[in-house]
Amino acid sequence: MLQIRRFAETELKLPANGHYLRYADLQRRFVVWNVYAAPEFSMTPKSWWYPVVGSLDYRGYFSEEKARAHAAELQAGGFDTYIGGVTAYSTLGWFCDPVLNTFIDEPEADLADLLFHELAHQRLFIPGDTEFNEAFATAVAEEGTRRWMESRTNQIALAEYHRQSRRTAEFVELVATARGQLDALYTNAVGTFSSNDSHHQERARQLRLEKQRIANELRQGYADVKQRWGGQRDYDLWFSQPLNNAQLNTVDTYYKLVPAFRGVLRSVNGDLEKFFVVVESLRKLKKEERRVHLARLAANADQAASE
């Protein structure tokens, strides 16, 4: 743990400061349970506003019971919901984050990824932009974990890490495809609902059938890749739950912008300090302007690489 923390500070330029130097046993399996929600026929996530951090696309509870109660209220109001247990989160420098019982026993690569992700939030966090913040931290953790594992002498662990990374990429692609299909389905349905109750009910029934078909295809796609993985069960728990808009959005939140951040990192030849300077310069932009500028930076990097 201390070696990973030191690596984050010296090699990845992440502000470890006083974080992860003490231990706390919370006597529970997760530190917090996050509730995610989206309308039944829309991929637009519901957001909640908080002081300091602004709008977030989830609501966290220290009690699983309270999280499930809030999810039930949202479901009664017509929302798809998903509850995700979280093993760690960043207090963004307000407190020194401790090592918790919820993640201390994670495998080396997973532990490194978690610490690098949370420390990346310490480096940059833009209030009100969940997708940007989580994808930034995911990209930093991805690069940091690769460097950490390559710095070790355990070639077997390194090979398994690369296999796990490829499995994650396939999982993300599967979910992104299904989410894109659902988004197109709902977009095309806009304006097709009538004030006539019977017509509305029939159109909603058809949409639910199409929605279920896409979910079934996603499950089958996972079953197919699992065979190629030799039966690895990385995402069995994720797929054991009802697949809905809110659940698919969680993957999109963490991974959709990651390719753009990778492009920015390539543009500075892997120099993390320069990467941070470029990304931090986007802080002052409005959310949509930030997306456009980030995409432009990544596209420029790809163009330069192809020349």
CA pair distance 185, 146, nearest whole angstrom: 37
- For the segment 195-199, the average pLDDT, to the nearest whole number, is 70
- Residue 100 bridge partners (DSSP): 24
Out of 33-37, 51-55, 249-253, 279-283, least confident range: 51-55
Residue 164 included in any domain: no
Q: On the CB side of 231, how many CA atoms lie within 13 Å of its CA?
A: 0
Amino acid at 190: V
**Contact at 8 Å (CB) between 215 and 40?**
no
- Residue 23 bridge partners (DSSP): 99
Q: On the CB side of 141, how many CA atoms lie within 13 Å of its CA?
A: 24
**Contact at 8 Å (CB) between 23 and 98?**
yes
Residue 89 included in any domain: yes
CB contact set of 305 (below 8 Å; sequence gap of 6+): 266
Residue 275 included in any domain: no
Residue 11 included in any domain: yes
Length reported for the chain: 307
Burial of 21 by CB count in 10 Å (0-12 exposed, 13-18 middle, 19+ buried)?
middle
Amino acid at 63: S
Using DSSP's 3-state secondary structure scheme, residue 103 falls into: coil
pLDDT digits 0-9 by tens, 121-172: 999 999 999 999 999 999 999 999 999 999 998 899 999 999 999 999 999 9
**Contact at 8 Å (CB) between 46 and 306?**
no
According to DSSP, residue 45 is labeled P
**Contact at 8 Å (CB) between 292 and 285?**
no
pLDDT averaged over the chain?
93
Q: Print the domain residue range for 118.
A: 2-153
According to DSSP, residue 41 is labeled T
Structure tokens at 289: 């302007």
Residue 129 included in any domain: yes
pLDDT digits 0-9 by tens, 76-85: 999 999 999 9
The total number of structural domains that make up the chain: 1
Residue 298 included in any domain: no
pLDDT digits 0-9 by tens, 20-54: 999 999 999 999 999 999 999 999 999 999 888 88
Backbone angles phi, psi at 207, to 5 degrees: -65, -40
Residue 86 included in any domain: yes
**Contact at 8 Å (CB) between 175 and 158?**
no
Residue 13 has pLDDT above 60, yes or no: yes
**Contact at 8 Å (CB) between 8 and 116?**
yes
- For the segment 87-93, the average pLDDT, to the nearest whole number, is 89
Residue 13 included in any domain: yes
